[in-house]
């Protein structure tokens, strides 16, 4: 029976997301491996899905196929009601392809400039996918949401992405103003990860019983 930590490939090149996943899974016997560590030089996945689920599955399947490792992928974004759900799946590239966080935040505020509501309703959504190349079953899919609204001036120095503009309903503070523990408890990614824990626990138990394969993670 193997007691080695389970290596899980996090199918993201976003350093902020990688840091959050490692924090959220720190109490489990899991070693979270980045794409840069596992697949250096691998071409980026074209995220051309129309939904968060489609994009998460694209990333999970590509990374699992190339690595042969258990893979955890997610796609997430910001949905603003006054903008018809935008930026949605284009959250990371709302301003342009390869946009910085500052550019995307500026684009969001510009898009909301003519919206009279001073607290435009919004939510962060995350769809997470767990894929085990050794299993013939379907990928495990979980979802997390965080409700709130958009403020008109950035607040806070933490987080990344739209965190300085997104006010969490529960706290009345932006994501960027929350401490790590607070954010992990209420964030869309934190909730999706919490919902995934049962599947991860079961996978860890199966791997420990089966022992290591001839290779892979």
- Give the residue numbers marked as catalytic: 75
The torsion angles phi and psi of 80, rounded to 5 degrees, stand at: -110, 120
Q: How many CA atoms lie within 13 A of 107 on its CB side?
A: 20
* Strands of the 6-10 sheet, one edge to the other: 30-34, 6-10, 70-80, 121-131, 140-150, 166-168, 173-174
* Cα 144 from chain centroid (whole Å): 10
User: What token pair was written down for 65?
Assistant: 């196929």
Burial annotation 110-148 (CB, 10 A radius, 16+ → b, else e): ebbeeeeeeebebbbbbbbbbbbbeeeeebbbbbbebeb
C-alpha span between 32 and 132 (Å, rounded): 14
Report the alpha-carbon distance of residue 73 to residue 100 in Å, rounded: 21
Burial bucket for residue 89 (CB in 10 Å: 0-12, 13-18, 19+): buried
Q: Residue ranges of the alpha helices (H) in the chain?
A: 15-24, 35-38, 52-67, 101-111, 180-186, 188-210
């Amino acid at each position: 029976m193997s007691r080695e930590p389970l290596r899980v490939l996090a199918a993201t090149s976003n350093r902020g997301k990688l840091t959050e996943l490692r924090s959220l899974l720190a109490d489990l016997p899991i070693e979270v491996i980045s794409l840069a560590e596992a697949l250096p030089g691998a071409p980026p996945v074209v995220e051309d899905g129309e939904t968060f689920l489609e994009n998460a599955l694209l990333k999970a399947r590509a990374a699992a196929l190339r690595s042969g490792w258990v893979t955890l992928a997610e796609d997430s974004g910001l949905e603003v009601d006054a903008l018809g759900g935008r930026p949605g799946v284009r959250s990371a590239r709302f301003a342009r392809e390869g946009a910085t966080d500052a550019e995307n935040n500026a684009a969001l505020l510009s898009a909301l400039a003519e919206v009279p509501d001073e607290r435009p309703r919004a939510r962060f959504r995350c769809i997470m996918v767990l894929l085990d190349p050794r299993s013939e079953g379907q990928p495990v899919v979980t979802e997390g949401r965080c409700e709130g609204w958009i403020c008109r001036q950035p607040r806070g120095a933490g987080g990344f992405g739209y965190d300085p503009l997104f006010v969490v309903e529960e706290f009345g503070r932006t994501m960027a103003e929350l401490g790590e523990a607070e954010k992990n408890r209420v964030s869309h990614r934190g909730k999706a990860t919490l919902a995934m824990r049962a599947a991860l626990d079961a996978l860890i138990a199966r791997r420990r019983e089966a022992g290591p394969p001839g290779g892979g993670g």
